[in-house]
Structure 1
Amino acid sequence: MRLFKRIVTLAVVLGIAALVIPDSAVKPTEMELVKLQRASGVDADNKDIVWILAVGSDARPGEDMTHTRGDALQLIGMNLKTGAASAIGVPRDSWVPIPGYGSNKINASLYFGGPQLLGQTVGNLVGIQPDYVFVTRFKYFQALIGSIGGVDVKNPVAFSDSALKPEGFRKGRIHLGPYDAMVFSRIRHNLIRGDFDRSANQQRVIRGIQAKVRARAHEAGFLEQGVLNVMQYLHTDLSPAELFKLAQAVAQVDPSKITTCVVQGGIGSIGGASVVLPYTDQARRLGDRARDDATLESCS
């Protein structure tokens, strides 16, 4: 009964927000949520699995975040029936074919063709075309972490960065505030496996966000205020009804049923730039395993 009341309240808040905040003119757009062309999304009948490509844009102030290079790429699947979820991390420097633009680093597809092309490019690598692409700036990401009171992650190995975090992060369970969550997700140079370990750290932060939201969802006004905050900064082509259904899907994820993997690859140099040469066979195996139920039994 309590869950039903929260869902009803959330639906009302979404409806009111859609009326009083009709577009991104109130405040600068910090997030973009688009439905990919030909994607069915949560509105489709018998749609049990929903896929969202989450992207952290490295756009500078004044730049269009939907046409810069993506810094973080996570393909997230949610099973609306079982509550399972999976995340497939794609290193941003992966050298892949980009439809209509030859081969380049995979994050360049956001610059060339926006969320639609990035979604298509990641989908071609993994074999799962996302239903939605969600893009956010790292500045708003920090605000999000602050609004939920930070996140807890289990860090497998101590690491630091002389510019971003000289004192570093210790091994073990640690609490991350807004700035620390951002740099924890972005540092790669002193990680053992560079881009691959960074992608895994991004998944740890995503787990932390989901766990914190789930833990605080019972607090009066927590979900409602969160929705209002998001709506003020969000530009989207989704209807309020579809946004509500998508919010339901996220809320129903069971933390014990979340599985994550990162697409692996070799390190090479093309045109003088360091690139990741992704193991495409492994990427397709991950897609095949997760496609039907949003679970990953192994990462090999």
Structure 2
Amino acid sequence: MQITDPDGAATVTQPRSRRARRWIWGVVFGIVAVLIAVAVTAVVYLGSLASSYNKAETLPSAEVFPTDVARPTPSNPDALNILLLGSDSREGLGGSVNEIRGQRADTMLLVHIPADRSGVQVISFMRDNWVPIPGYGNGKLNSALAFGGTPLLVQTLEEITDVRIDHVAITDFEGFKGLSEALDGVTVNNSIAFTSGKYSFAQGPIELRGDQALAYVRARYPFTDGDYQRVRNQQAFIKGMLDKLVSRETLTDPGRISASVAALAPFLAVDEGLDAGTVASLGLSLREVDKSEIVFLTSPTLGTGMVGDQSIVQPDWDGLAALSEALRNDSVPQYLAEHPAK
């Protein structure tokens, strides 16, 4: 498959067989780490968890964030925005981050943590949003990664949202099975019955783990609205993961918590500022947050369309402007009340 910018300035070849092999486990790990820090206070045990977390690859800021460009000024320095990115180019994170260039991200989420730590908002950005990509004209949002790596993707998102991204986590899909199995499965409230490969998923509460869970979060083609339902399924899975993580059976089982961190850390890369100390401090600052105050939403769109022979998602620029203002003002709950999901 080729990714070509509308002006013909660049073409990047991507093997079709690798598409959809990676998913955004950064969001799960980030929230896992926060909840672990809140739930566990024994110094020795926190040290053990930090040791596991530090197995994640650390990326220099220059390989993650744009340089020599104007970036949004934080409206409140105490608020945080963390980009969670799933790349289909890394295997066990064994190679250089430069290998991400030429690939695409199937899933992108922005985690917003308000200055007063009153909750957490997780925003999915559809990968096919047709947006301006600096230096390349208009293109699909996830093609920014192919053209300029993580810094260009960060720059693109910052320019369309006018919100500064403080941290980035990139993850490989292969940590998924170990994490889901470390939790002894995850219960998900599945909104639509469907079949993907050899697995069938009934409507209603279902338990997922291992390869079955992989099939659930990757499925796109069984649905008439494609990526829209896949995003909903991914959000439903994360909600199920959170429910399991904050359950008494997990929080009272140090071995299960430790196994969850150890299963994912080798498949995770984070910017150098998102170290174990930062995550632990963030967790402590969120100790009063209830799971009901962790909300999920999708950046506003106007549905699908075509540009040439490409199927795209049309951004709702007015809706995105309202969401951007809410992010800058720490008023996302009010935004959600005024813009209910359709």
TM-score, scaled relative to structure 2 = 0.70
Q: Which runs of 5+ in 2 are unaligned?
A: 1-36
Range with bigger deviation, 231-240 or 174-183: 231-240
Range with bigger deviation, 191-200 or 224-233: 224-233
AA paired with 2:213? A
In the superposition, relative to structure 1, how do residues 3 and 255 fare at CA in structure 2: closer, same or farther (>3 Å)? closer
In the superposition, relative to structure 1, how do residues 66 and 91 fare at CA in structure 2: closer, same or farther (>3 Å)? same
In the superposition, relative to structure 1, how do residues 90 and 7 fare at CA in structure 2: closer, same or farther (>3 Å)? farther
User: Is 1:53 matched with 2:83?
Assistant: yes
2:5 is aligned to none
**Candidates 106, 129, 137, aligned match of 2:141:** 106
Distance 1:244 1:132 in 2: 15
1:187 is aligned to 219
Distance 1:159 1:280 in 2: 32
In the superposition, relative to structure 1, how do residues 229 and 155 fare at CA in structure 2: closer, same or farther (>3 Å)? closer
Distance 1:112 1:227 in 2: 32
2:129 is aligned to 94
1:198 is aligned to 230
Shift in Å, 1:250 = 7.0
Identity over aligned residues, as a percent?
A: 29
2:293 is aligned to 257
SS of equivalent residue, structure 1 residue 149: coil
In the superposition, relative to structure 1, how do residues 58 and 188 fare at CA in structure 2: closer, same or farther (>3 Å)? same
Whether contact under 8 Å (1:85, 1:294) holds in the other structure is no
Q: Please give the per-residue CA displacement for 1:140-168, whole angstroms capped at 9, x wherever unaligned.
A: 2333222222222111111223xxx3442
AA paired with 1:286? L
Shift in Å, 1:124 = 2.7
TM-score, scaled relative to structure 1 = 0.79
In the superposition, relative to structure 1, how do residues 254 and 116 fare at CA in structure 2: closer, same or farther (>3 Å)? farther
Q: Please give the per-residue CA displacement for 1:199-234, whole angstroms capped at 9, x wherever unaligned.
A: 122111222222222221332244344444444444
User: Is 1:280 matched with 2:280?
Assistant: no
Shift in Å, 1:102 = 1.8
Shift in Å, 1:97 = 0.8
Residues 212-291 of structure 1 correspond to what in structure 2 (within 5 A)? 212-215=244-247, 216-236=250-270, 237-238=272-273, 239-248=275-284, 253-263=289-299, 264-291=301-328
AA paired with 1:242? T
Q: Which runs of 5+ in 1 are unaligned?
A: none
SS of equivalent residue, structure 1 residue 6: coil
2:152 is aligned to 117
Distance 1:294 1:180 in 2: 34
AA paired with 1:280? W
Distance 2:230 2:43 in 1: 38
Residues 285-300 of structure 1 correspond to what in structure 2 (within 5 A)? 285-291=322-328, 292-295=330-333, 296-297=336-337, 298-299=339-340
What is the CA RMSD across the aligned residues, in angstroms? Answer: 3.4
AA paired with 1:129? R
Q: Please give the per-residue CA displacement for 1:36-73, whole angstroms capped at 9, x wherever unaligned.
A: 467999xxx961x3222212222265875633200111
**Candidates 191, 213, 227, aligned match of 1:156:** 191
Distance 2:263 2:73 in 1: 27
Whether contact under 8 Å (1:33, 1:135) holds in the other structure is no
For these two proteins, the number of residue pairs brought into alignment is 284
**Candidates 104, 123, 136, aligned match of 1:69:** 104
Distance 2:77 2:228 in 1: 35
Whether contact under 8 Å (1:55, 1:133) holds in the other structure is yes
Whether contact under 8 Å (2:251, 2:257) holds in the other structure is yes
AA paired with 1:118? L
Distance 1:224 1:294 in 2: 33
Distance 1:9 1:99 in 2: 47
Distance 2:304 2:178 in 1: 34
Whether contact under 8 Å (1:120, 1:129) holds in the other structure is no
Range with bigger deviation, 116-125 or 104-113: 116-125
